[in-house]
Structure 1
Amino acid sequence: MAPLIPRMHLFEIDDQPCLFRDRFPSYLRSLVQEGLYHAWTTSLPIIQPQGSPASLVARTLQQVLGRRNVSRYTYIDFCAGAGGPTPVIEKALNASLAKQQKETESGGGGGGAPDSHSDPKSSHSYANVASTSSSSGKQSPSSNGDKDSDNSTAPVNFVMTDLHPHPKAWAASANKSQNLTYEPESVDASNAPAALIDRYRQPDKNQPGGRIFRLFNLAFHHFDDPLARAILKNTVETSDAIGIFEMQDRSLSSIVTCALFGLFIPLVAPVLYWWAPWRLFWVYIIPIVPFVLVFDGLISSLRTRTPEEIEVLLRTCGADTTDWEIKSGRECFMWPTGYLSWTMCIKKHKGDE
């Protein structure tokens, strides 16, 4: 069902450096970004029974891609910012895979995510769009057959990149995990360097890490339609999948969640920032941080696309999308109104489960 609210590409305060750089100092900007990080990674009892949104992303990747295929990808975050949820997603996903491997070796069966998909929507055609006619590319068949299951829980690698890189912040995160790395140079998601893709992709796409999965966490709604199409076109031409994860959508529940977030921040700020009184100043005395987070959250809701709208952009991006399928869903990350909305565009390969 289409949302009642049309998509509006309005401006966000934290997304307008040309207008607000002088009036919105980098220090305050970093506090807002840190607030978003806590929103991704915080897990509160009772109202977040399934864990943090970042852990839900890891679980969704495992469920939708399947136990065998999830390890066939290297995950490149093209809008990592100062790090965002990617280190937490990497840790959660690899911990789950390690647990599965341990249970398999002990003969206890496969715990964690099931082999089958968790009822995501797989779309055939959300809109009347121009059909593509070129034939699909030749894929490498699996040389291991059933032996691929031996690698079904191999650790997966994550790479952090951004148009405006933060190598110092990324290095601190990468030092804590051998499965997390970063690109220190600027990377344009609409024109990803071929050397970057080739560096992380393996010749046999059925082997662990052989495919490229592009990750966009709370980021894709920032792009207008021409830029979003360019990113999707570059994805189809150079990669094997894209995952778009948003903590909001164009629904009444999302607007309510954004409003509640303004009340939530003052409640948790003493726990998170007890050691930094100056940070509390910008929460309680001059509440710039709560205001920007709530305002930008509401605008983000109006900017967020539905899976149907993303598919229209994909099918009209100018690349051959014959072998690409769309899956989407919503997961509750904060009871009763907070939902993680996700859309994945995945290229089908021989040897997939």
Structure 2
Amino acid sequence: MLKWPRIQFYELGDQSWLPGWLHQHEQFTLTQLWHLSIPGWSHGSLATQACTVIREHLPDVSSYLFVDLCAGAGGPTPLLERELNRALEQANGSDSSARPVRFLLTDLFPHLEVWKGITKKQPNISYIPSAVDARDAPRYTPKDRKECRIFNICFHHFKDEDAQGILQNAVEEADAFVIFEITARDLWTCLCSPLVFFFAYAVTLRWYWWSPVHLFFTYVVPVAPVALWVDGLISCLRTRTPEEISALLQRQAVVDVTGWKFASGSRTVQWPFITLHYYVGRKRKKKQKKQQMTPVQITSTYKVHTMKIIIIGAGLGGLTTAIACTQQSLDVLVLEKSPHLQTAGAGIQIPPNGTRIMRDLGLLPKLLHEGGGKVLEHVDFRRYASGQILRSMPFGAGMVREFGAPWLIIHRADYHRVLYEEAVRLGVEVRLGVEVEGVDFEGPAVLLAGGERVPGDVVLGADGLWSQVRGFVVGGDGAMPQETGDLAYRAVIPRSELEALGDEKVDELCRRVAVTSYLGPRKHTIFYPVRGGGEFNLVLLRPDDLPSGMRREEAGVQEMRESYAGWDPTYLLCRLLTEIQGRVALLGDACHPTLPYQAQGAAMAVEDGAVIGRLLGLLQSHLSLSRSEGKGVATADSIASILKLYEQVRKGRTTRNVRAARINRFLLHIADGIVQRLRDFLLRYMGVTRESDWSWLFSFSMRQTLGLDVIRDCETAFEEWARESAAEEVRRIQGRLPLRPSHLRQPRTSGMLD
């Protein structure tokens, strides 16, 4: 059969902009295809043929735990479990001691609600509630039971490097693996792919007859059938042959496949249209631990220098930076002006882009258990006067499925404490009560009160909105933040005081793990639980009437009530810059302060810290490798260049975030009238995730903020920087590019002053 090179196209179902209902329809249709069996024509179904393959190649099937590493919404796994155990019951008869076949559902984006429903009906299926990366999955079975990794029509989705990592992990951790595909990269399969177009019509009529959206986009404008056909065709173009899968295994130089047996084949289900293709790997004997080769030792008289990072400010951004840098084996010193760590503060939201950073740093479990963080279940928008719910947006498991991490609500002091304790545990030196009087950009070095000079390789200003370091870097009026014209009343209220009111509406608010927001003209309020629900954070935002230059003032309850007269009584209980100068940089509110209308201020600071820590760690490794190879590298020039790269990576994203916060302020504070009624109408159909957003546009916008993998993004940027640096060095050595004096020190830049 005619074949052609594999092409790594991307399916419509892989795209973040695809509406949630269409993605769900496509997945459900493929699941139903596993059921399809036509009497007199079909040789069973895809599910029964898959079970036959499993039994033939894994004869002791009941001794295995089958781990579905890309389970999605369940796929064919429930069918396979029923079919395999039904066959076992028939074979074993009344033998009650026989062990059933068990399955485990995992995914990088867990579908917890769907999985809970499956496991209630089928007790032989369980699931892992947290995200699982198939490239780095642990072994889930004890030594007395075998483990088989199973990949149901998903292996073609992975790029070669990811597929290679998945196979390596399976060989190292499991006893077998099975790959099933229903597409092939040949002409006949491509020609038959349009038949799935018509199957989509039958699925909509049988299971979605009640949905006007599904009916319209199937029978009037055939979006659902066309999308299914296009994705089927793309799947054909990127499905691997058995030889290509074997080649991926052979490329695993660090994996010993001795004792493994591999087999592949296909089974016809409905000739000539539907065929099941498989690739099976099984360990025939106990895996011998590979004798480790003695690594080649590279000797050098050069002593590798560990970069010293000085961070000014021990807030959320500063401590995250310290943790990220320390995990990259850098030497870190944190200087904090306050003699004691500030434990004051109110509630804070950690959106998925922030919790992903915490997960990568290993801190997400601590925030949930030791920090009293709660996974946000809903965001409720209410009308300010009546309290009427305009929209209750579901978050919860949907956020994890969409973005790979939950949306948390937590007390700021608890968040800060978890970060501080982790930094100290890692060995970060934190000096409290230190007054910074200046920064020497040539060193660089930090000048302290009393004349002490603290030298380092990098100085990072993470000292917040009223940053001293920003003043040293920018100078003049450009260092001062601009007043936004908004004011916030903040309070943290114990749950016992709220329950003592005996108000049913208040009790209802306290029972929900939700952010409740009342929207009104030029004002809005926010209410949500912190500290495991023991306290509640209340924020009321309104136009500013404080004297110019005043940052904070104690406010009376009566003043607050008068400001919100006419509101539902249930609730009444800048300028941008990223400056880099030489080896001194800013992060967080010190360089891009933002309005509190997008829950992204602290998240952006945390992202800054994780990104700059990763870039400096990559640079440290790059410099060590270059010196071991005898290449001359200027450390100071490289650090200054990497800090410029940090600015390039972060500038566009933080700029968009600040602008989005300003837009949100306008939308939340619309005056009563036609525009407000239009906003309330549209809000009823909006959601943050694809599955909850009927407008499609709002979730698309949120994916740009919440979905970006900033660590992968900065790693890609670093790889490009390293290639360009190597090419420039070659050109310089060849005499076509002389070393410029300007390389010795980076000039002051205007950064984000536009």
What TM-score does the superposition give when structure 1 sets the normalisation length? Answer: 0.76
**Structure 1 residue runs without a partner (length 5+):** 106-149, 205-209
2:102 corresponds to which residue?
157
**Structure 2 residue runs without a partner (length 5+):** 287-754
Q: Is the 8 A contact 1:330 1:339 kept in 2?
A: yes
CA distance in 1, matches of 2:270, 2:212: 28
1:93 corresponds to which residue?
84
Q: Is the 8 A contact 2:200 2:228 kept in 1?
A: no
Q: Is the 8 A contact 1:47 1:336 kept in 2?
A: no
Equivalent in 173, 181, 193 of residue 246 of structure 1:
181
Equivalent in 213, 224, 231 of residue 148 of structure 2:
213
The percent identity for this pair of structures is 40
1:138 corresponds to which residue?
none
CA distance in 2, matches of 1:286, 1:45: 32
Structure 1 residue 35: Cα displacement? 1.3
1:38 corresponds to which residue?
32
What is the total number of aligned residue pairs between the two structures?
285
2:282 corresponds to which residue?
346
Secondary structure, counterpart of 1:175 in structure 2? helix
Equivalent in 205, 219, 238 of residue 270 of structure 1:
205
2:143 corresponds to which residue?
203
Structure 1 residue 29: Cα displacement? 1.2
Structure 1 residue 268: Cα displacement? 4.9
1:301 corresponds to which residue?
236
Question: Could you say what the CA RMSD is over the residues aligned between the two structures, in angstroms?
Answer: 1.9
Equivalent in 219, 223, 229 of residue 284 of structure 1:
219
What TM-score does the superposition give when structure 2 sets the normalisation length? Answer: 0.37
Q: Is the 8 A contact 1:254 1:339 kept in 2?
A: no
CA distance in 2, matches of 1:85, 1:280: 25
CA distance in 2, matches of 1:339, 1:253: 11
CA distance in 1, matches of 2:258, 2:213: 54
Query: What are the superposed Cα offsets for residues 239-260 of structure 1, whole Å, 9 maximum, x if unpaired?
Result: 1111100111112232133111
For structure 1, which segment, 175-184 or 332-341, has the greater mean C-alpha deviation from structure 2 after superposition? 332-341
Structure 1 residue 235: Cα displacement? 0.9
Structure 1 residue 339: Cα displacement? 0.6
Specify whether residues 256 and 45 from structure 1 end up closer, same or farther in structure 2 by C-alpha distance, changes over 3 A only: farther
1:58 corresponds to which residue?
51
Q: Is the 8 A contact 1:266 1:283 kept in 2?
A: yes
Find out whether 1:316 has 2:284 as its counterpart: no
CA distance in 1, matches of 2:116, 2:71: 13
Matches within 5 A, 1:64-213: 64-66=57-59, 69-102=60-93, 154-192=99-137, 194=138, 197=139, 200-204=140-144, 210-213=145-148
Structure 1 residue 65: Cα displacement? 1.5
Q: Which amino acid aligns with 1:25?
A: P
> Which structure ranks higher in relative contact order (CA pairs < 8 Å, sequence separation ≥ 6)?
1
Q: Is the 8 A contact 2:73 2:114 kept in 1?
A: yes
CA distance in 2, matches of 1:172, 1:42: 22
Q: Is the 8 A contact 1:71 1:155 kept in 2?
A: yes
Find out whether 1:28 has 2:27 as its counterpart: no
Q: Which runs of 4+ in 1 moved over 4 A?
A: none
Structure 1 residue 289: Cα displacement? 1.1
Q: Which amino acid aligns with 1:16?
A: Q
Structure 1 residue 45: Cα displacement? 2.6
Query: What are the superposed Cα offsets for residues 303-347 of structure 1, whole Å, 9 maximum, x if unpaired?
Result: 111111111111212311111121111111222221110001111
Q: Is the 8 A contact 1:32 1:293 kept in 2?
A: yes
Structure 1 residue 32: Cα displacement? 1.3
CA distance in 2, matches of 1:59, 1:176: 24
Secondary structure, counterpart of 1:190 in structure 2? helix
CA distance in 2, matches of 1:232, 1:334: 30
CA distance in 2, matches of 1:224, 1:287: 30
CA distance in 1, matches of 2:214, 2:159: 33
Structure 1 residue 41: Cα displacement? 2.2
Query: What are the superposed Cα offsets for residues 156-202 of structure 1, whole Å, 9 maximum, x if unpaired?
Result: 1000000011011011011111110111100000001x3xx2xx423
Query: What are the superposed Cα offsets for residues 104-158 of structure 1, whole Å, 9 maximum, x if unpaired?
Result: x6xxxxxxxxxxxxxxxxxxxxxxxxxxxxxxxxxxxxxxxxxxxx97x631100
Q: Is the 8 A contact 1:323 1:348 kept in 2?
A: yes
Q: Which amino acid aligns with 1:323?
A: G
